[in-house]
Amino acid sequence: MIDLRNIETFFWAAALGSLRAAGEKLGTTQPAVSQRIAALELALGVKLFDRAARGVRLTAKGQELLAHAEQLIQARNGLIEAARDSTTMSGRLNLGVAETIVQTWLPKLIAEIHMAYPDLTLEIEVDTSEMLQSYLMSRRIDLAFLMGPVLEPRVANRPLCTYPLAWIAKPGLYSSEKSVSVETICALPVITYGSNSTPYRQVRDILQRYRFPAPRMYGSASLSMIAKMALDGIGTAVITPVFLGAEIARGELEILDVEADPLNDLHFTASWIDGPDSHAARVITHMAQQVARNSVGNVLITDLGSEEI
């Protein structure tokens, strides 16, 4: 008889490309993973993996059997989900979050998750959207709230929220005029998201279209740092004003009317790799959509409806 644990171990070793990573995922040791795979290979009479310089690589037969293994695990998980109390969920979910979400509605979501699922442990990692996508594809995290969507095979994306971008500066930094030219803006640094981000590239392209081939731009992965530099009058920030309401209300910062092409909104999605263990990701995404829908500054107009979980 083939042990389903061995099939699950085979699946995760293949998905993660490493026996060590599979052991961490399954809460066991690398020797135990090796033993389970060896037992499965013996039971099936085939070789599933070849050793690679880094980790393991599926054989042709292993690649052929991987989809069958996933179907068995999904059937097992489907049976468990159908039998379980829909109000309970336990285990650990590795959640990656972009800082804009952290600064807006993530605390409210965490509170609601704790109330609804007290036995579910969250491991939260805050990073840039580019890094979160990398973590997701390597399965370091189970679910990402990021600037998306993630256009990769098998990745499920659901809309969360949309926030506007704006040119923001210390009042009086340039003039008291209602509108400011790109030439005036470029007299000082333009401060925005990290240099590998979509907003950075968008701002750079706008400035270059206005004949500034090498604009002085400061990129940062920290929104609080960007806001601090704007407050200190170092230059103009291009970020979402959604978490700067207090500073704008106190007159410490202002939104500028810049004579340039309009800035594109920031679209955030919940993204995860659809697979045997994605039930928690779907449930938490549904909760996140409800929280984000009512967040201040969200301009997402799509009717999210009742997301199937």
**CATH value of 91-161+266-293 in 3.40.190.10, 1.10.150.130, 3.30.460.80, 3.65.10.10:** 3.40.190.10
Please name every residue paired with 96 in a beta bridge, in sequence order, or none if there are none.
125, 144
Q: Checking phi first, is residue 111 left (phi over 0); if not, alpha (psi -120 to 50) or beta?
A: alpha
* Positions in the chain short of pLDDT 70: 53, 80-88, 176-178, 213-214, 300-309
**pTM, to two decimals:** 0.75
Number of alpha carbons in the 13 Å side-chain half-sphere of residue 59: 11
The CA-based angle 94-100-105, given to 5 degrees, is 75
Q: Which CATH homologous superfamily contains domain 166-259?
A: Periplasmic binding protein-like II (3.40.190.10)
**Tens of pLDDT along 233-276?**
999 999 999 989 899 999 999 999 998 889 999 999 999 998 77
Q: Determine how many CB atoms are found less than 10 A away from the CB of residue 210.
A: 15
Would 4-83 and 91-161+266-293 be classified into the same CATH topology?
A: no
Q: Checking phi first, is residue 292 left (phi over 0); if not, alpha (psi -120 to 50) or beta?
A: alpha
CATH number of 4-83: 1.10.10.10
Q: What is the pLDDT of residue 81?
A: 66
Q: What is the pLDDT of residue 305?
A: 42
List the chain domain ranges.
4-83, 91-161+266-293, 166-259
Q: What is the pLDDT of residue 98?
A: 95
Q: What is the pLDDT of residue 95?
A: 97
Q: What is the pLDDT of residue 158?
A: 94
With contact defined as beta carbons under 8 Å apart, do 166 and 241 qualify? yes
Q: What is the pLDDT of residue 186?
A: 87
Q: What is the pLDDT of residue 19?
A: 87
With contact defined as beta carbons under 8 Å apart, do 167 and 236 qualify? yes
Q: Tokens representing 43?
A: 């039971």
